[in-house]
Amino acid sequence: MPTRYHSRYSIPFPVWSPAPPSVTLIFYRLHAVTVSNPNEFPQPTAMATIQPIAGELEPHPDVALVERVRGGDVSAYDDLVRKYDRQIFRIAQHITQNREDAEDVMQDAFLKAYEKLEQFQGNSKFYTWLVRIAVNESLMRLRKRRTGKMVSIDEDIETEEGSVPRDLADWAPDPEQNYGQAELAEILRKTIQGLPPGFRIVFVLRDVEGLSTEETAETLGLSIPAVKSRLLRARLQLRERLSRYFRRKKAPRVTKPREKRVGETRNDK
Amino acid sequence: MTCSEFLALLDDLIDDSVTPETRAELQKHLHGCDHCEVTLNTTRKTIEIYRSHQIYDLPPDLRERLHAAIMARCKKGC
């Protein structure tokens, strides 16, 4: 049973240094973020950029590969490994935050999937099934490294309410252009590593690897509202942290000149 | 619509899973609220940056090594 906190300060967040004058920090409370619109599910298929297209009409090409492996054709497994090894490695590294662990997880996940292939039902995608194995292996590694400290995807998660500070400074246009590749990668790595594991995993599966909300929920054994709630917090926290690097260097945003209203006299300039 | 209500629906807006009515309300709020407009745009940008810059690549030599190790064990029946 996860620990549930109800203090509005229970979302872990770094201590904020005094904000520069151009930045306003306002705390908004998020109330019952996902419970408020339970009728939104299942999500419509018309997903813009974030959601992969869920084409369930034809059998997934992986099904044929899995059948071939079951029939004794090991080379078909070779194809499956090549198809998904990068994703599995990334997910493992995001969770364990350790290169060696990620290598071990990748091997163990593919070997375990191979051993258990008979148990694969085919009512979920092979990839989602594989990711679930990899997530479990990664969490096990993480627990081993942090001996004595409980690690679960429920860790550090506050549920129904909490406050998210908002850095309201706008970002520079194409802010990533202001950094070299290596520097940018370091910023992105450092930023996402600072998220609590339960937020980080949801963000990685859903936004980086493109799993649907339903697949993410199934993979992590979470409810759909829990996935949605974590995703929102993860996105907002990442945005907040990236703001430090990406905000416009020039100070206050110039407010748009207001149209003069009829009958109004303005003497400014 | 308040800023808190807007934020609560931010993900649905980003993921394009809002009804046309809700979308209209969100747009209306956005029109008069620079803060929420910044939040929406920079949150979208956050996702886009993380999607387009993979920070944990699998180097080709490591990939081949791991791949060979996996397939060797599979061929032996694990």
Domain at A178, CATH number: 1.10.10.10
pLDDT of the residue at A37: 40
A52: in domain: no
Residuewise pLDDT in 10s, chain A (269 residues): 444 433 333 333 333 333 343 444 444 445 434 333 434 333 433 333 444 455 556 778 888 899 999 898 999 999 999 999 999 999 999 999 999 999 999 999 999 999 999 888 877 789 999 999 999 999 999 888 776 555 555 544 443 344 555 677 889 888 888 899 899 999 999 999 999 889 999 999 999 999 999 999 999 999 999 999 999 999 999 999 999 999 887 655 555 555 545 444 444 43
A13: in domain: no
A219/A182 same-domain check = yes
Q: Say yes or no for a CB contact (<8 Å) between B42 and A107.
A: no
Residue written as tokens 């996940």?
Answer: A109
Segments forming the whole domain that contains residue A64: 60-151
A146: in domain: yes
Which chain B positions have a beta carbon within 8 Å of A211's beta carbon? none
Domain termination site, one of A101, A116, A151: A151
pLDDT of the residue at A145: 79
A34: in domain: no
What sign does the CA torsion over B38, B44, B49, B50 have? Answer: positive
Give the span between the Cα atoms of B68 and B63, in whole angstroms.
Answer: 8
pLDDT of the residue at A95: 93
- In the stretch 226-245 of chain A, residues with CB closer than 8 A to chain B read 228, 231-232, 235-236, 238-239, 242-243
Q: If we measure between CA atoms, which residue out of A267, A266, A243, A117 comes closest to residue B39?
A: A243
Q: If we measure between CA atoms, which residue out of A193, A190, A92 comes closest to residue A141?
A: A92
Q: Say yes or no for a CB contact (<8 Å) between B45 and A78.
A: no
A175/A236 same-domain check = yes
At residue A129, what is the residue type? W
A121: in domain: yes
A8: in domain: no
Q: Taking each helix axis as running N to C, give the angle between helix B60-75 and helix A99-115, from 0 to 180 degrees, rounded to the nearest 10.
A: 30
Q: Which CATH number does the domain housing residue A96 bear?
A: 1.10.1740.10
A236/A175 same-domain check = yes
Residue written as tokens 């950094």?
Answer: A179
A144/A198 same-domain check = no
Q: Say yes or no for a CB contact (<8 Å) between B42 and A246.
A: yes
Domain termination site, one of A117, A151, A185: A151
Which chain B positions have a beta carbon within 8 Å of A232's beta carbon? 7-8, 10-11
Q: Please count the structural domains in chain A.
A: 2
A38: in domain: no
Give the span between the Cα atoms of A216 and B27, in whole angstroms.
Answer: 29
Q: Is the pTM of this model over 0.90?
A: no
A269: in domain: no
Mean of pLDDT over chain B:
91
As for the ipTM of the complex, it is: 0.91
Q: Which residues of A122-157 are buried (b: 16+ CB within 10 A; e: fewer)?
A: eebbbbbbbbbbbbbbbbebbeeeeeeeebebbebb
Q: Say yes or no for a CB contact (<8 Å) between A77 and B71.
A: yes
